[in-house]
Structure 1
Amino acid sequence: MASIEKLPMLAAGYEKLTAELRALRDERPLIVDAIEEARAHGDLSENAEYHSAKERQGQVEAAIADLEDRVSRAQIIDPTTLSGDKIIFGATVTLLDDDDKPVRYQIVGPYEADAKAGKISYNSPLGRALIGKRVGDEMEVSVPAGERFYAVEKIEFI
């Protein structure tokens, strides 16, 4: 029997998922009402409101199923309870890039990643390269923009 793959995430990522799930569940009765109202307009074959509401219903149900799956497999990790000298999930790392300019990222789950906010997925090219590294380690990473070189300057669990 296959084991269920856990999805590591931070508490904030879990809260975002559950809020999205609640919002979609709240939308369900509104969609049913829209379908009933559109049905009352008669001929369903040429009823754009009906087809639109049915399409939205399918989208919402698929999204709910996906979110329920992710929530059920969530493994919430609190970085403040972690420690060590290696980069692991939840760590916040300061790197020096090719130009010796510091860049800072937190290693998060794939559904929490937001590079502009300094959060990268553990399974992104840079995230994979960082896992297991220590302060002073250097690495070359292939990213969409080309090859990048980084040196690990600091590892924090905050």
Structure 2
Amino acid sequence: MGRWRPPAEKSSPYITKEGYERLNAELKHLWKVRRPEVTQALKEAAAEGDRSENAEYIYRKKELREIDRRVRYLAKRMDHFKVVEHLPEQRDTVFFGAWVTLVDEEDNEIEYRIVGADEINPKLGYISVDAPLSRKLLKRQLGEEIEHNTPDGRTLWYEILAIRYE
């Protein structure tokens, strides 16, 4: 069995203003602060002698590669982002950036925010606009019901209880 995997689907380029600012700050921090620190530590570790048995040198090389990988990814991705700053005219309809409160069959409430693929954070309730649940929520209105099939084969029913934009 080979290691080949089909390429991932391209994620949508949309991002909230807050998400763009956060990723831009991360890029600047990595490039101006973190990378010079690691480069200096690598230089010091290289000066200690035999690099093949120098754990500090090996660790710093790996850390530098990870920083460079993230910087390349962010720099490339930042060019393609489409920052969504405006609020929709129809505030009772789910669009990108909306906070959506759902209620399930057992009257449990859950709140999600529909954000770009680079902003997802399950702890904060941020779900990608490309996620199956988001796709079912988009363009739905207050009070509508949706049916959502989970990856484990269950079918869940939700009603849209509230929609808000900040």
| TM-score normalized by the length of structure 2 | 0.80
Alpha-carbon contact 1:83-1:157 (below 8 Å) kept: no
Residue 5 of structure 1 deviates from its aligned partner by 7.7
Q: How does 1:5-154 map to 2 (within 5 A)?
A: 7-25=13-31, 26-78=33-85, 81-84=87-90, 85-144=92-151, 146-154=154-162
Question: Residues of 2 paired with 1:148 and 1:20: CA distance?
Answer: 37
- 1:156 to 1:23, Cα distance in 2 relative to 1, 3 A: same
Any unmatched runs of 5+ in structure 1? Answer: none
Deviates more, 1:146-155 or 1:31-40: 146-155
Residue 89 of structure 1 deviates from its aligned partner by 0.8
Any unmatched runs of 5+ in structure 2? Answer: 1-9
- 1:75 to 1:110, Cα distance in 2 relative to 1, 3 A: same
Residue 9 of structure 1 deviates from its aligned partner by 1.2
Task: Output one character per residue of 1:44-95: Cα deviation in whole Å (capped at 9) or x when no partner.
Answer: 121111111111111110011111122222221125x212253221122232
- 1:31 to 1:101, Cα distance in 2 relative to 1, 3 A: closer
Residue 144 of structure 1 deviates from its aligned partner by 4.7
Counterpart of 2:102, as a letter, is L
Alpha-carbon contact 1:125-1:143 (below 8 Å) kept: no
Percent of paired sites with the same residue: 34
| TM-score normalized by the length of structure 1 | 0.84
Counterpart of 2:95, as a letter, is I
Counterpart of 2:20, as a letter, is Y
Question: Residues of 1 paired with 2:39 and 2:111: CA distance?
Answer: 46
Question: Residues of 2 paired with 1:126 and 1:22: CA distance?
Answer: 33
Question: Residues of 1 paired with 2:50 and 2:110: CA distance?
Answer: 60
Count of matched residue pairs: 154
> Given the alignment of the two structures, is residue 155 of structure 1 paired with residue 151 of structure 2, yes or no?
no
Question: Residues of 2 paired with 1:49 and 1:24: CA distance?
Answer: 20
- Structure having the higher helix fraction is 1
Deviates more, 1:13-22 or 1:128-137: 128-137
